[in-house]
A and B are shown apart, each in its own frame.
Chain A
Amino acid sequence: MAVNLSKGQKVDLTKNNPGLTKVKIGLGWDTNKYDGGSAFDLDASAFCLNGSGKVNSDSDFIFYNNKTNPNGSIQLSGDNQTGEGDGDDESLVIDLAQVPADIQKISFCITIHDAAARNQNFGQVANSFARVLNEATNEELIRYDLGEDFSIETAVVVAELYRHGSEWKFSAVGSGYRDGLAGLCRDFGVQV
């Protein structure tokens, strides 16, 4: 059911789509239908990374408590805490032309809030998906079925946008982690 670039595949983004400026990441999932457990609270986030693959400061970590980067080129929609509603439950929009010059890479991640305490992972969340769209045309560039491609993981790096010369390229990462947002923050140099 998931139509996606091969894991690890890298494609030109702006080179093949001259004039492409805005990319949107959509995240969706179903609410928890079982009793006795907690709601599934999935969160989309973005890490704006310098040439060393780290954030310059904590303001480059875009998540539910910091919904835009300093110049507004990256914007996160609100925090959906249960998955209620059809379609994308959360989304992130990036205006590529406005991303500050020292940001070399933007890493898109999905995490399950409080996963360890709630004993949750992607394998339990029904119909969870992440998709990347050309925001102007609504064309879907990549889609990951998060519940099939990941099961015991609690954090996933979906994809990375990175500069190559004067263009932006796109890498389908699709790698998951078991130690959630904390693991990602450590990787990217965010103070936890």
Chain B
Amino acid sequence: MSISLSKGQKIDLTKTNPGLTKVLVGLGWDTNKYDGGKDFDLDASVFLLNAAGKAGSEKDFIFYNNLKSTNGAVEHTGDNLTGEGDGDDEQVKINLSTVPPEVEKISFCITIHEAAERGQNFGQVTNAFVRIVNEDTGAELIRYDLGEDFSVETAVVVGELYRHSGEWKFNAVGSGYKDGLAGLVKDFGLM
């Protein structure tokens, strides 16, 4: 049932799922545990972007210290501190029908907290994935497994939900920045 995406792929979401309004975006990852290293603290975040690809204000940056967007259309369900457990490590709920019209794109990202200080990057992270689930039925609609093509990145844009001709589509991005959260906020206009 679920469609498995490859990097760069763009796929219809609402066009092929008429009536879809509420989705759950699940993000997950493993970390390689080596002895002598520091703990990994990975965080999912969401950026609500306008037509220029920029966040309107800091309220459009959804993360563990700002769990809900202004009108509640986007809700981060909380910070997983250990990565313990199978399946989604963190989840974001989205009501597609109430996302404000000026939000053209929703970018789902994972960052490594204090990556530079701890000498960590996504080259050390395996099995990262994003999946989109129909919140009403529980059916998984889309899954993108990021694979292991990472090296210097410390922040990754996993995928993006975006508007196209009145519908929502999903783009499997799987690319990132070497300067962590700073790289993301700079790209999204919040620096």
A120 touches B8 (CB 8 A): yes
- B151 on the A face (CB < 8 A): yes
Residue of B nearest to A125 (CB): B8
Chain B, 145-182, CB within 8 A of any chain A CB: 149-153, 157, 164, 171-173, 175-179
Cα of A119 to Cα of B7 in the assembled complex, Å: 8
Does the CB pair B187–A33 fall under 8 Å?
yes
Which A residues lie within 8 Å of B178 (CB)?
35-36
Partner of B9, one of A33, A35, A120, A152: A152
User: How long is the Cα–Cα vector from A152 to B177 in the complex, in angstroms?
Assistant: 22
B10 at the interface (CB under 8 A from A): yes
The answer, yes or no, to whether B6 is at the interface (CB within 8 Å) is: yes
Asked if residues A152 and B8 are in contact (CB atoms below 8 Å), the reply is yes
Known contacts A123-B171, A124-B175, A148-B164; decide if A36 and B7 are in contact (CB<8 Å): no
Contact residue range for chain B? 20 to 34
Q: B183 at interface (Cβ–Cβ under 8 A)?
A: yes
Q: Is the CB of B153 within 8 A of A123?
A: no
Instruction: For the complex, give the distance between the alpha carbons of A35 and B153 in Å.
Output: 7
A14 to B30, CA, bound (A): 60
Q: Which of A33, A36, A119 contacts B151 (CB 8 A)?
A: A36
Contact of B8 among A35, A124, A148 (CB under 8 A): A124
In the bound assembly, the distance between CA atoms of A120 and B11 in angstroms comes to 17
Chain B 4-36 interface 0/1 with A at a Cβ cutoff of 8 Å (1 = within): 001111110000000000000000000000000
Is A45 at the interface (CB under 8 A from chain B)? Answer: no
Residue of A with least CB distance to B8: A123
Among A33, A122, A124, the most chain B Cβ lie within 10 Å of the Cβ of: A124
Contact of B175 among A34, A121, A148, A152 (CB under 8 A): A34
Name B45-104 residues within 8 Å CB distance of A: none
Q: Measured between alpha carbons, how far is A10 from B178 in the docked complex, in Å? A: 47
How far does the alpha carbon of A190 sit from the alpha carbon of B175 in the complex, in Å? 35
Chain B residues, Cβ within 8 Å of A152 = 6, 8-9
Closest 10 CB pairs of A and B: A123-B8, A34-B175, A124-B8, A151-B10, A121-B8, A35-B178, A36-B153, A151-B9, A36-B152, A123-B10
A-B contact pairs, 11 of them (CB 8 A): A34-B175, A34-B177, A35-B177, A36-B150, A36-B152, A36-B175, A121-B6, A122-B8, A148-B164, A151-B8, A152-B8
Given A34-B177, A123-B7, A124-B8, 16 new contacts (CB under 8 A): A34-B153, A34-B175, A34-B176, A35-B176, A36-B150, A36-B178, A119-B149, A123-B171, A123-B172, A147-B10, A148-B10, A148-B164, A151-B9, A151-B11, A152-B8, A152-B9
Q: Which residues of A contact B (CB under 8 A)?
A: 33-37, 119-124, 147-148, 151-152
